[in-house]
């Protein structure tokens, strides 16, 4: 045997040993997750919890790389990248998907859910499967949902306890046709402006009221400017954690199972943190003089009747209207 043959055999043997070493070491697959919230946010804390559980459940095969503070762009850009298959994972509000997922538009209807439990039951049922199917057609796999709280009205003029209390109020709303129509039908004036301009709008008298979830109402300092907070819970659209179909297809069945399990555990953890945050925020607001009107103190039937009248105006498809009726009837 000549020296060249020996050298080739030695090289092949060395490559084989190196391949075995790489397999045994089990180098982790990095999954990049786009997140626009800062590190201290409850969502990021929950994703960090998921990262740890994913490492355990996958036995080190999967690693989550969380890019916070919108490093990879806003939620719309993250969703576009998921669809294109150029981003592994993203956490976005479900409303971000409304242009591509027809079913999501239905979730934006006011007073659709009676409670948080009602919403989770709907998402865990047939309607939730419809969302999952529509997401897959757009190149995304739904892993889990995170809580986003419920939006309620707050005012610097008076507590909102009935339809009559909306009359004459200039209310900041999100730029949604159904939201603007609802406020107008209730006797108020809808005002669309960026959320970061709400505090100044209260100060200069541009608006008399606004709406958001309790933690946001307190963390932004709006509770100092609008001391009446009415827990009507008119809107609840959750966050969604998705992975691109491209990234999903590169995972083994065992890795897919591990990722789903870790995501589900993080959602349970997140809902616990969110509930605690709501309780603490409401307690702080009350302590500092905010007048809180509980849902049981609000004439909800009178207000909700206006919302229901709008459903048929904005939802023209008969099957979608049937879906809405089924959601309203679901326990």
- Taking only the tens place, the pLDDT of each residue in 72-130 is 999 999 999 999 999 999 999 998 898 899 999 898 899 999 999 999 999 999 999 99
Packed helices 42-57 and 253-287: angle between N→C axes, nearest 10 degrees: 150
Q: For position 71, what pLDDT does the model report?
A: 95
Mean pLDDT of the region 205-230: 96
Q: For position 4, what pLDDT does the model report?
A: 42
Span 17-66, pLDDT tens digits: 443 443 344 557 999 999 999 999 999 999 999 999 999 999 999 999 99
Q: Going by DSSP bridges, is the β-strand pair 140-146/239-244 parallel, antiparallel, or unpaired?
A: antiparallel
With a pLDDT cut of 70, the percent of the chain lying above it is: 92
Q: For position 27, what pLDDT does the model report?
A: 58
Mean pLDDT taken over the chain? 90
- Residues in contact with 182: Cβ distance below 8 Å, sequence separation at least 6, in sequence order: 110, 306, 307, 310
With a pLDDT cut of 90, the percent of the chain lying above it is: 79
CA–CA gap between residue 92 and residue 65 (Å, rounded)? 16
CA–CA gap between residue 242 and residue 87 (Å, rounded)? 10
CA-based nearest residue to 60, from 264, 269, 258, 261:
258
Tokens found for residue 47: 């994703």
Q: In a 3-state reduction of DSSP, which class is residue 238?
A: coil
Mean pLDDT of the region 225-240: 96
The answer to whether 37 and 215 have CB atoms below 8 angstroms apart is no
Mean pLDDT of the region 289-308: 94
Mean pLDDT of the region 217-231: 97
Span 154-188, pLDDT tens digits: 999 999 999 999 999 999 998 888 889 999 999 99
Span 129-151, pLDDT tens digits: 999 999 999 999 999 999 999 99
Mean pLDDT of the region 265-293: 97
Judge whether residue 7 has pLDDT over 50.
no
CA 280: distance to chain centroid?
21
CA–CA gap between residue 10 and residue 52 (Å, rounded)? 41
The answer to whether 228 and 291 have CB atoms below 8 angstroms apart is yes
Name the strands in the sheet holding 291-293, side by side, starting at the edge strand that comes first in the sequence.
189-192, 170-173, 209-212, 151-155, 228-235, 291-293
pLDDT tier at 312 (50, 70, 90 boundaries)? confident
Residue count of the chain = 331
CA–CA gap between residue 145 and residue 123 (Å, rounded)? 9
Q: For position 1, what pLDDT does the model report?
A: 52
CA–CA gap between residue 240 and residue 124 (Å, rounded)? 13
- Going from the N-terminus, what domains does the chain have, and what CATH number goes with each? 27-100+138-147+238-279 (3.40.190.170), 151-236+299-329 (3.40.190.170)
pLDDT tier at 3 (50, 70, 90 boundaries)? very low
**Torsion 291-294-299-303 (CA) sign:** positive
Mean pLDDT of the region 243-248: 98
Whole-Å CA distances, 161 to 37, 79, 152, 156, 236: 34, 38, 12, 14, 20
The answer to whether 191 and 207 have CB atoms below 8 angstroms apart is yes
Burial of 141 (0-12, 13-18, 19+ CB in 10 A): buried
DSSP 270-328: HHHHHHHHHHHHHHHHHHTT-EEE-GGGS-HHHHHHHHHHHHHHH---HHHHHHHHHHH
| Number of Cβ atoms within 10 Å of the Cβ of 183 | 23
pLDDT tier at 299 (50, 70, 90 boundaries)? very high
């Amino acid at each position: 045997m000549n020296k060249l043959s020996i050298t080739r055999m030695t090289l092949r043997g060395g490559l084989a040993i190196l391949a075995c070493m790489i397999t045994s070491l089990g180098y982790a697959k990095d999954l990049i997750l786009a997140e626009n919230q800062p590190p201290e946010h409850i969502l990021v804390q929950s994703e960090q919890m998921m990262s740890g559980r994913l490492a355990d459940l996958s036995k080190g095969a999967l690693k989550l790389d969380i890019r916070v503070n919108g490093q990879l762009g806003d939620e719309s850009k993250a969703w576009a990248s998921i669809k294109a298959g150029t981003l592994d994972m993203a956490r976005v509000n479900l409303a971000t998907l409304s242009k591509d997922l027809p079913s999501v538009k239905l979730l934006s209807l006011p007073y659709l859910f009676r409670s948080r439990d009602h919403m989770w039951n709907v998402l865990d049922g047939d309607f939730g499967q419809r969302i999952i199917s529509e997401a897959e057609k757009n190149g995304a796999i739904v892993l889990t949902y995170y809580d986003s709280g419920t939006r309620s009205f707050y005012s610097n003029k008076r507590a909102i306890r009935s339809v009559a209390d909306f009359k004459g109020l200039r209310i900041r709303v999100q730029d949604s046709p159904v939201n603007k129509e609802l406020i107008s039908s209730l006797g108020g004036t809808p005002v669309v402006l960026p959320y970061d301009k709400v505090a100044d709008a209260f100060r200069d008298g541009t608006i008399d009221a606004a709406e958001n979830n309790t933690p946001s109402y307190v963390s932004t300092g709006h509770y100092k400017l609008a001391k009446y907070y009415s827990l009507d819970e008119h809107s609840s659209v959750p966050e969604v954690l998705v992975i691109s179909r491209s990234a999903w297809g590169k995972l083994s069945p065992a890795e897919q199972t591990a990722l789903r399990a870790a995501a589900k555990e993080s959602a349970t953890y997140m809902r616990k943190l969110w509930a605690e945050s709501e309780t603490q925020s409401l307690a702080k607001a009350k302590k500092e003089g905010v007048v809180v009107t509980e849902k049981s103190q609000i004439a909800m039937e009178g207000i909700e009747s206006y919302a229901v009248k709008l459903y048929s105006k904005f939802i023209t498809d008969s099957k979608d209207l049937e879906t809405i009726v089924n959601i309203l009837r679901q326990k």
